[in-house]
Amino acid sequence: MTKESISAKGDLRLTRLTKSYGDFTAVDDLSLVIPEGSFFALLGPSGCGKTTTLRMIAGLEEPTVGSIHLGTTDITTTKPYQRPINTVFQNYALFPHLTIFENIAFGLRRRGIKDVDAAVSKVLDLVELPHLAQRKPTQLSGGQQQRIALARAIVNRPALLLLDEPLGALDLKLRRQMQIELKWIQKEVGLTFVHVTHDQEEAMTMADTIAVMNEGQIEQMGSPADLYDNPKTAFVANFLGQSNLIKGTISGNDGDSHIVDLFGQKISLQKNRSHANDQFIYAGIRPEKFRISRLGTPTSGNILTGGHIEDVSYIGVSTQYQVEMPWGQELMVFEQNDDGVAPFSKGEEVNISWEPIFTFGLRGDEDATAGSEVNPEELDEE
């Protein structure tokens, strides 16, 4: 009837993958290796090409150019039903006419696996819903459907599990809980997970490696800590958490560090954390790395003087300040409420300081707002 599904294993390799729809290029010359057994996240705003990339891996879209390898097997044009790859779809796409049991058994039956009962009950135990086997999908809550969608995919023990915004339809609390469970299940079953999301917190919680995508290309790839602490572009700095980017010029060197002039004030930046290609630079500092101090209080590290508190928001664990600097820029500062000192009040004159190792440098010709106007919580993919 049809060719048997192939049994490839190993790292997933995308080579110069491009997908165009007419004039629009959704995925642009993307190359990527996803190591076997890892939890990999493709993170980016709506329309960045991450879902298209996932659909090409699943076989639901054919690349315009480029190739996809699983281990040593070229699967670029292999039909979806022949790939040892399963997907957890965005809205689960459970079969409404089948029971939960039959939904999960679907893939096993298609491949003629013998002991369907045992495999299904094992995976139902794993997602902790064994009592729902005889229900129909419409009788389940969103969170339960999500787990069944996951069970339906992992029961096949695919070489690769694709997750397309799997938690997008759940409320915040359930989403956080499922993130931890997904991570645990991935460790438990030891499969390679490729997870597509626009939620940076979700990606950081779960993934070993994150590839941040923008306009069909990968902006930067690395561990969550790498990307957060040492972003290479303004897009990554703004999309992953928040950043203060201050325009400046490199005015000198001091051993392993650059001396950067920020509107007349000198700060230090480690050379290996600078991604500028000439003397024009944006100095980046995460809001929680700043410390605020009253004038006259001794401070160390990089110091910027002449600020005054423009706005104060008390949010329990921390207080968020907007500090206006002499050159007119407002900097964002998050202070932990752990020192017993009452928050600063609006209008107070303050200095700002931070440890030099927390400074990162971006190219001076970048758009400092790239990636910041996107509010991931409000966007729905496609």
Partner 1 sequence: MGKIRTPYLLLLPGFGFLFTFFILPIINLAQTSTQTPVGGGDTGQYEQTLRFSNYVDAFVENKEQFGRSFVYALIATILALAIAYPLAYAIAFKGGKLKNFMLVLVVAPFFTSFLLRTVAWKQILGEEGFVVPTLRNLGIISQSTTLTSTSFAVVMGMTYNFLPFMTLPLYASIDRIDPRTLEASGDLYANGFTTFRKVTLPLSMPGVVAGTLLTFIPAAGDYVNAAILGSPNTKMIGNVIESRYFKIVDYPTAAALSFTLMAVILILVTVYVRKAGTEELV
- Contacts with partner 1 by CB under 8 A lie at 1-2, 5, 58-60, 79-82, 85-87, 89-91, 93-97, 106-107, 110-111, 136, 138, 152, 156
Nearer to partner 1, 79 or 122 (CB): 79
Nearer to partner 1, 93 or 303 (CB): 93
Give the DSSP per-residue string, 183-198: HHHHHHH--EEEEEES
* CA 336 – CA 118 distance, rounded (Å): 51
Nearer to partner 1, 16 or 111 (CB): 111
295 and 255 in contact (C-beta within 8 Å)? no
Nearer to partner 1, 156 or 209 (CB): 156
Least gap, CB of 92 to partner 1 (angstroms) = 8
Least gap, CB of 151 to partner 1 (angstroms) = 12
Least gap, CB of 161 to partner 1 (angstroms) = 11
Number of H helices, E strands in the chain: 8, 20
221 and 210 in contact (C-beta within 8 Å)? yes
Nearer to partner 1, 90 or 268 (CB): 90
Least gap, CB of 127 to partner 1 (angstroms) = 17
- What are 284's strand-pairing partners? 245, 360
Least gap, CB of 141 to partner 1 (angstroms) = 17
* CA 208 – CA 320 distance, rounded (Å): 30
* CA 47 – CA 28 distance, rounded (Å): 12
3-state secondary structure of 73: strand
Q: Strands 257-262 and 360-363, how do they pair?
A: unpaired
**Can you read off the two tokens belonging to residue 9?**
């294993």
Q: Which of 335, 338, 347 is nearest to 308 (CA)?
A: 347
265 and 259 in contact (C-beta within 8 Å)? no
* CA 57 – CA 193 distance, rounded (Å): 12
Least gap, CB of 307 to partner 1 (angstroms) = 52
* CA 178 – CA 169 distance, rounded (Å): 12
Least gap, CB of 81 to partner 1 (angstroms) = 5
What's the CA angle centered on 41, arms 17 and 361, to 5 degrees?
90
Nearer to partner 1, 192 or 209 (CB): 192
Nearer to partner 1, 107 or 371 (CB): 107
354 and 304 in contact (C-beta within 8 Å)? no
Least gap, CB of 79 to partner 1 (angstroms) = 7
Least gap, CB of 277 to partner 1 (angstroms) = 44
3-state secondary structure of 295: coil
Nearer to partner 1, 104 or 362 (CB): 104
Backbone phi, psi, residue 50, to 5° = -70, -40
Nearer to partner 1, 67 or 82 (CB): 82
